[in-house]
A = this chain, B = another copy of it.
Amino acid sequence: MERLNIGELNPSPRILMGPGPSNVNYRVLRALSTPLVGHLDPQFLTLMDETCEMLRNLFQTKNRLTIPISGTGSSGMEASFVNFIEPGDTVIIGVKGVFGERMVDVADRCGVKVVRVDQEWGRVIDPGKMIQAVTQNPGAKLCAIVHAETSTGAQQPLSEIGNFCRGREILFLVDTVTSLAGVEVKVDEWGIDICYSGTQKCLSVPPGLAPMTVSPKGMEVLRSRKSKVRSWYLDLSMIERYWGEERFYHHTAPISMLYGLREGLRIIFEEGLEARFRRHHILAERLRMELETLGFRAFAQEGYRLPMLNSVHLPQGVEDASVRKRLLSDYNIEVGGGLGQVKGKIWRVGLMGEACRIQNIEYLVAALREILKK
């Protein structure tokens, strides 16, 4: 190994206030470092059941199929589309940022007709517009939208759309990658049929798993498919047999990551969902006030701002890349830049899970005062 000269792992102690990953509690790190049992070991099967049960509580659902997909949040997005649509179907997608665009790309690859409901970035989509699209496209298979658009910091209202879809032959699909465990996500109450998330945002578990839940109505659609699911790896009709009582071998579960997820979920329920949401809400208010004082102006639509992802316009004269670089190299603070059409124009300041702490806000503000000489 001398030849490759690759030394010991020695990363700097970063404070992760970007769009994710967020910081991870030491208990989750400790769980990750626990020696492995086999993926069909009775002890592991118990752990799987416990994890599903906690995920159900987190998604506020009774859905039997509530599991972590063995990939990052984007694999959850792909699983949410490929399992439920078939070539020739019509799907309606709300697009108001990068992740809505990504949904269009994912759906497009499935050979379906995509009806877009577009909205200016930073704003939310009027639920009436989504409902109108559903009405105008009878026979559409599903209607999809991002709850917390990570590229803009806007929080989409969902219950009105869900309630409309509930009694109809259309599935309601929601991306909660950034929102889950930071704000309310009420899958059953809001009439969501397919919902996925990621572990590296407000769950404060490393990236690598995509919690997902499917309603009985969604399962019916899955079971009545005419063709095989296009993806073998993400085929829920096989995956559910591994996570269910049958324990049918599909692929080897990512054991260590599941150790970490289980511990992260335990921590969430020790704090309690309400307390956790309140912490995110209160500290976001504080952060926004501080950033405004420094000249940063909110980007997302008023009244619909995400607590865990604060998007802000830069003050006049502040150069995006160089200031973020100094924050990282001199202060060990990561904040996120803009994506796509707002690249260089906004910052995305995360307050996710473990990283959502008053000391992080105070330190970021102090660092910015020094850099900006304010």
Q: Could you say which of A71-79, A135-143, A293-301, A363-371 contacts chain B?
A: A71-79
Q: Which residue on chain B has the smallest CB distance to residue A102?
A: B232
Known: A254-B72, A263-B9. A233 touches B34 (CB 8 A): no
Q: Which residues of chain B are within 8 angstroms of A24 by Cβ–Cβ distance?
A: 35-36, 256
Q: Is A57 close to B, CB under 8 A?
A: yes
Q: Which residues of chain B are within 8 angstroms of A18 by Cβ–Cβ distance?
A: 38
- State in angstroms the CA–CA spacing of A54 and B36 once bound together: 24
- Verify A13–B35 contact, CB threshold 8 A: yes
- Verify A208–B254 contact, CB threshold 8 A: yes
Q: Which residue on chain B has the smallest CB distance to residue A250?
A: B74
Contacting B at CB under 8 A, from A148-203, are: 198, 200
Q: Which residues of chain B are within 8 angstroms of A230 by Cβ–Cβ distance?
A: 109-110, 230-231
- State in angstroms the CA–CA spacing of A263 and B7 once bound together: 9
Q: Which residues of chain B are within 8 angstroms of A115 by Cβ–Cβ distance?
A: none
Q: Which residue on chain B has the smallest CB distance to residue A81?
A: B232
Q: Is A20 close to B, CB under 8 A?
A: yes
Q: Which residues of chain B are within 8 angstroms of A78 by Cβ–Cβ distance?
A: 231-233
Chain multiplicity (copies): 2
Known: A208-B256, A252-B21. A232 touches B109 (CB 8 A): yes
Q: Which residue on chain B has the smallest CB distance to residue A198?
A: B252
Q: How far is the CB of A273 from chain B (nearest CB, A)?
A: 11
Q: Which residue on chain B has the smallest CB distance to residue A340?
A: B249
Known: A43-B11, A334-B38. A251 touches B74 (CB 8 A): yes
Q: Which residues of chain B are within 8 angstroms of A34 by Cβ–Cβ distance?
A: 9, 11, 29
Q: How far is the CB of A71 from chain B (nearest CB, A)?
A: 5
Q: Which residues of chain B are within 8 angstroms of A263 by Cβ–Cβ distance?
A: 9
Q: Which residues of chain B are within 8 angstroms of A4 by Cβ–Cβ distance?
A: 50, 53-54, 57, 269
- Verify A71–B73 contact, CB threshold 8 A: no
Known: A71-B233, A229-B109. A30 touches B33 (CB 8 A): yes
- Verify A1–B266 contact, CB threshold 8 A: yes
- Verify B32–A256 contact, CB threshold 8 A: yes
- Verify A252–B43 contact, CB threshold 8 A: no
- Verify A35–B29 contact, CB threshold 8 A: yes
Q: Is A262 close to B, CB under 8 A?
A: yes
- State in angstroms the CA–CA spacing of A155 and B105 once bound together: 40
- State in angstroms the CA–CA spacing of A77 and B235 once bound together: 14
Report A1-12 CB contacts with B as 1/0, cut-off 8 Å.
Answer: 100101001011
Q: Which residues of chain B are within 8 angstroms of A9 by Cβ–Cβ distance?
A: 31, 34, 47, 259, 262-263
Q: Which residues of chain B are within 8 angstroms of A206 by Cβ–Cβ distance?
A: 36, 254-257
- Verify B269–A1 contact, CB threshold 8 A: yes
Q: Which residues of chain B are within 8 angstroms of A36 by Cβ–Cβ distance?
A: 11, 14, 16, 21, 23-24, 206
A residues touching B (Cβ–Cβ < 8 Å)? 1, 4, 6, 9, 11-14, 16, 18, 20-21, 23-24, 29-39, 41-44, 47, 50, 53-54, 57, 70-75, 77-78, 102, 105-106, 108-110, 198, 200, 206-208, 228-234, 249-257, 259-260, 262-263, 266, 269-270, 328, 334, 339
- Not counting A21-B255, A75-B233, a sample of 20 additional A-B residue pairs whose C-beta atoms are within 8 angstroms of each other reads A9-B259, A11-B43, A12-B37, A23-B35, A29-B32, A29-B34, A30-B33, A38-B334, A41-B328, A70-B71, A77-B232, A78-B233, A108-B228, A200-B252, A206-B257, A207-B252, A207-B254, A207-B255, A231-B231, A256-B256
6 residue pairs bridging A and B, Cβ less than 8 Å apart: A11-B43, A12-B43, A13-B35, A109-B231, A249-B339, A257-B257
